Amino acid sequence: MLNADSLVRDGKPDADALAAAPHDPAAIAAALAGATAPAQRAALALLAGAHGAEPARAALLALLADDGLAGKAAAWALGQDAGASDAVLAAIAGGGVDVRDNGYQALAVLVAGGRAPASLTAALTARAEDEIARAQAGRTGLGEKACRVLTMLGAPGAAELIQRVLESDPYTDRFELDRLRKRLADQGRDHDSIAELAAPWPLLFADQLAPPPKLAEPVPAPAKPVAVASAPSAPRPLPPPGAGSPPPVAPPAVAGGSDDPLDPEAGADNALPPAKPIDWKAFATSPEVAALPAQVKTLITQLGPLLEQLAARAINAPLADLSGQEFMALLLQVLPQALPPEHVSIALSPQALNGYQALAKWLVRSGTASHGSELELAVKAVRKQLTAQMRKTGMLGGPDYSDPDDAPVTTKG
């Protein structure tokens, strides 16, 4: 039986516990129906959305009346259930402010995930009309919430409804409606909301989850080197890149006395090979960096030395000496464990991969790389893995990991 207490730490859902919890949708639904603590309900709602929300639909609909995290988690979970739209619309039609607020969020998540039925536009238009009527009668209207979903759909008539909400409801969120109107004019729909709500739940609810335990060292030195013989495991689901910079990692103390099988000197004097340092100043002024956008230049000048430190610490080898498989392991296994969760999306963003690819090209051109073009091929393989992962999770409008080298070439003639 699923133990709801085990999913909560410090009064908040625990992402690691949720990832390790049983994935049986029926068991999750039964546990949710019997849960009473808000944090447990929130955790079980997230679990239901991640592994099959349909069996828990009735319990999730009831949670829409919750004005806290449980209600928001239920909205996200219902947004994963392609068959829930009619039930959510019915709840909105007869519900109070909290039910309607969370209900519109559930429908927005449905749209972001590409799960909305064709009939949703007409049904939502009717709900927007109802919100306008509520506001005109002096009651609380949520017209901007309905208009957001309609704008995400690119619905005909959405601009007119936005204007009517502005005129009829003095308490509406005018900034949000202005944003929606601009998105309609510029893009035809609200792609910003689509990208935001298509992100995995650990990102959407990052501020409401129990923080991960703090480690004394960003990357604990393992007793054995990272195994790279087999294919590297998939990283955490990745959100669209956010703002911020990864923190610096203290230079590792690389001492002798290793039995590292990757060390060509192992078995002789059992010491690490002499490090092949990378001239980061030369790299920063290279044509490869000059061709990068300013944002990527800044990113790679921070992440490059970090990768060099992690290679020495976790794989016991200089970065330039890594094989393609070892470089993949560094990016997909070591890097996600070394950084706080909020920085992983930056370090594995499309911009960062463009920087890693430029670094790999420069290492080859400068004669620094020991394995030729393997590092560049490894970055291309990482792109494919991250793209496949996004497709597997059903994410729409997420990061674009396409290879800049594959851009079409135009010719004159």
The answer as to whether 124 is a domain residue is: yes
Q: Is residue 179 scored above 70 in pLDDT?
A: yes
The gap from C-alpha 27 to its chain's centroid, in whole angstroms, comes to 27
202 with 309, same domain? no
User: Between residues 280 and 404, which one has the greater pLDDT?
Assistant: 280
18 with 143, same domain? yes
Query: DSSP state, 141?
Result: -
The answer as to whether 11 is a domain residue is: yes
The answer as to whether 37 is a domain residue is: yes
Lowest-pLDDT choice from 3-17, 152-166, 393-407: 393-407
97 with 194, same domain? yes
pLDDT tens readout for residues 64-94: 999 999 999 999 999 999 999 999 999 999 9
295 with 202, same domain? no
What per-residue confidence (pLDDT) applies to 383? Answer: 87
- Where a domain ends, among 189, 207, 225? 207
Strands of 169-274 (E only): list them.
Answer: none
33 with 156, same domain? yes
203 with 298, same domain? no
The answer as to whether 112 is a domain residue is: yes
197 with 286, same domain? no
Q: What's the CATH number where 47 sits?
A: 1.25.10
For residue 16, give Cα distances in angstroms to 194, 221, 329: 26, 22, 21
The residues near 82 (Cβ < 8 Å, ≥ 6 apart) are 110, 115, 117
16 with 123, same domain? yes
Give the rounded percent of residues in the chain with a pLDDT score beyond 70: 80
Give the integer Cα–Cα distance in Å for 49 and 413.
54
- Where a domain ends, among 171, 191, 207? 207
- Where a domain ends, among 207, 222, 238? 207
What per-residue confidence (pLDDT) applies to 208? Answer: 87
Question: Whole domain around residue 364: which residue ranges?
Answer: 280-406
Domain count, the chain: 2
Give the integer Cα–Cα distance in Å for 81 and 113.
10
pLDDT tens readout for residues 217-268: 333 333 333 343 333 333 333 333 333 344 443 333 333 333 333 333 333 3
The answer as to whether 300 is a domain residue is: yes
- The pTM score is 0.56
The answer as to whether 402 is a domain residue is: yes
Reported as a pLDDT band with limits 50, 70 and 90, residue 276 is low
Strands of 107-200 (E only): list them.
Answer: none
Lowest-pLDDT choice from 13-17, 80-84, 284-288: 13-17
Give the integer Cα–Cα distance in Å for 184 and 159.
7
The residues near 56 (Cβ < 8 Å, ≥ 6 apart) are 25, 28, 29, 32, 33, 44, 45, 48, 77
pLDDT tens readout for residues 266-275: 333 434 344 4
303 with 184, same domain? no
193 with 305, same domain? no
The answer as to whether 245 is a domain residue is: no
What per-residue confidence (pLDDT) applies to 235? Answer: 36
192 with 297, same domain? no
The answer as to whether 240 is a domain residue is: no
